């Protein structure tokens, strides 16, 4: 019994090590970042009367927002220009027409003076209406021309109270102007109607929606979005995958965007010369409410349909994006005139739309393709966690088996000696 247990432990440890070796980093985006101007972020905060509600970690929603803002201001990268706009912060009355004009620039989008910005945040007190649509229209004008990225982060605890001005239509109008502005939305303790509205706003501009019920979640998410604005901007190329490999577009190294319907397959082709390695990754965004349990599959297959390698990812619950990747080394050939191999990339998702959610347009898809010089022999590649070929796997398994036997024998010998004494 002891021997069997030790043997199993040795094999399990080996398999765990091999599994860890299979994981590999997704290739970096090919191409150069574009745009040298300063990234800009405008934080738009709901300061309406409902922010007095005390249901976030025992404190009010306003207290959680202030705490998050102070921590975000401390962590904002130096290269990011940041501003703060409020909605519902100044008018306490019952006149809707006046209340729906209640949006103000608390701190201009500019190089950050952390002390001044914190001082302004400290003055906020929950007051009035929730004019989300009007605030977004004003926020779109808070940015200067030429920014490398422009991002609005809207934080609200309720739906817009300024109908008939629909904030979803406002977001679509902003997107139609083509000014490269992304709106991300965060819902504090959301209900169904608010979740739908904030998701719609984010979807219209390619942003993300996140529900928040704890103060640390709010801080982490806002920090993440501000940091994202500082990332180098790479210009993606729009493409359109096909329903089969035979009719798929041929892609070179670069970053590509597409749309994929729910449960749809999209095909792309990549030519790989002998001695090169194909590295590919794909991300599919859930830009609207989706049902739990979903996944994305990226396969590399030959033109004849034989699978070469695959990458897959799955999750359960709310997500903004799900990603996976793969690598395929093409061995050197003794024939200098050997042709390139056409590799077919297939992207499949298993998302399904939530109740009442539109299924069109398709989900946003981002595909990275990188073809680089690879090793001279496929056996020299450790891409799949097998070191220098399958012989290493066999040697490791044998070593683990022998180690288990030896440990079991030693254990039994020590037990026999102990009984004798």
For position 9, what pLDDT does the model report? 40
Domain boundary among 210, 229, 248: 229
* Close Cβ partners of 328 (under 8 Å, ≥ 6 residues apart): 272, 277, 278, 300, 308, 309, 343, 383
260 lies in the same domain as 211:
no
pLDDT tens for 66-99 read 999 999 999 999 999 999 999 999 999 999 999 9
Q: What CATH number did the domain enclosing 167 receive?
A: 3.40.50.410
What pLDDT shows up at residue 374?
A: 65
Domain enclosing residue 415, as ranges: 2-22+386-420
Cα distance between the two ends of the chain: 22
Give the pLDDT confidence score for residue 404 in this predicted structure. Answer: 73
- Report the candidate in 187, 196, 258 with the shortest Cα–Cα distance to residue 221: 187
Q: How many CB atoms lie within 10 A of CB 94?
A: 9
Rounded to 5°, the CA angle 79-82-83 comes to: 165
Pair (74, 176) in one structural domain? yes
Token pair of 384 as six digits = 């799949």
Where residue 267 sits, what CATH number does that domain have?
A: 2.60.120.380
**pLDDT at residue 30 in the model:** 38
Q: Are residues 61 and 197 in the same domain?
A: yes
| Structural contact between residues 262 and 349, judged by C-beta atoms closer than 8 angstroms | yes
pLDDT of residue 354: 80
The backbone torsions φ and ψ at residue 310, rounded to the nearest 5 degrees and listed phi first, read -140, 155
SS3 state of residue 411 = helix
What are the φ/ψ torsions at residue 239 (nearest 5 degrees)?
-140, 175
φ, ψ of residue 43 in degrees (nearest 5): -85, 120
Q: Which residues of the chain have pLDDT under 70?
A: 1-36, 146-147, 178, 232-235, 317-320, 374-396, 415, 417-421
Please state the domain count of the chain.
3
């Amino acid at each position: 019994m002891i021997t069997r247990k030790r043997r199993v432990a040795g094999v399990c440890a080996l398999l765990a090590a091999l599994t860890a070796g299979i994981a590999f980093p997704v290739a970096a985006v090919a191409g150069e970042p574009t745009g040298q101007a300063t990234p800009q972020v405008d934080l738009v905060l709901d300061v309406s009367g409902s922010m007095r509600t005390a249901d976030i970690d025992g404190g009010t929603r306003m207290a959680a927002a202030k705490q998050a803002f102070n921590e975000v201001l401390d962590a904002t990268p130096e290269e990011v220009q940041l501003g703060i706009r409020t909605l519902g912060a100044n008018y306490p009355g019952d006149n809707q027409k006046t209340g729906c004009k209640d949006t103000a620039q608390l701190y201009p989008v500019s190089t950050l003076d952390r002390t001044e910005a914190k001082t302004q945040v400290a003055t906020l007190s929950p007051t009035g209406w929730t004019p989300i649509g009007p605030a977004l229209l004003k926020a779109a004008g808070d940015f200067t021309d030429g920014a490398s990225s422009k991002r609005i982060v809207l934080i609200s605890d309720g739906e817009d109270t300024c109908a008939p001005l629909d904030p979803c239509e406002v977001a679509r109008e902003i997107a139609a102007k083509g000014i490269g502005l992304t709106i991300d939305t965060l819902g504090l303790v959301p209900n169904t109607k608010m979740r739908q509205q904030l998701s719609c706003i984010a979807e219209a501009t390619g942003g993300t929606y996140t529900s928040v019920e704890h103060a640390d979640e709010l801080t982490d998410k806002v920090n993440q979005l501000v940091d994202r604005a500082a990332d180098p901007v790479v210009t993606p190329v729009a493409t359109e995958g096909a329903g089969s490999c035979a009719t798929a577009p041929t892609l070179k190294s670069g970053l590509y965007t597409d749309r994929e319907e729910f449960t749809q397959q999209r095909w792309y082709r990549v030519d790989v010369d002998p001695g090169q390695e194909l590295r590919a990754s794909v991300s599919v965004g859930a830009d609207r409410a989706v049902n739990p349990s979903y996944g994305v599959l990226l396969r590399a297959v030959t033109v004849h349909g034989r699978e070469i390698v695959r990458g897959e990812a799955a999750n359960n619950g709310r997500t903004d994006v799900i990603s996976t990747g793969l690598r395929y080394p093409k061995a050197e050939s003794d024939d200098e005139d050997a042709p390139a191999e056409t590799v077919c990339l297939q992207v499949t998702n298993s998302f399904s739309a939530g109740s009442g959610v539109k299924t069109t347009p398709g989900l946003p898809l981002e595909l990275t393709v990188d073809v680089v010089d690879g090793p001279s022999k496929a056996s020299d590649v450790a891409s799949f966690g097998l070191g220098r070929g399958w012989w290493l796997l066999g040697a490791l398994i044998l070593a683990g088996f022998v180690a288990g036997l030896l440990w079991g024998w030693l254990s039994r010998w020590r037990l026999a000696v102990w009984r004798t004494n």
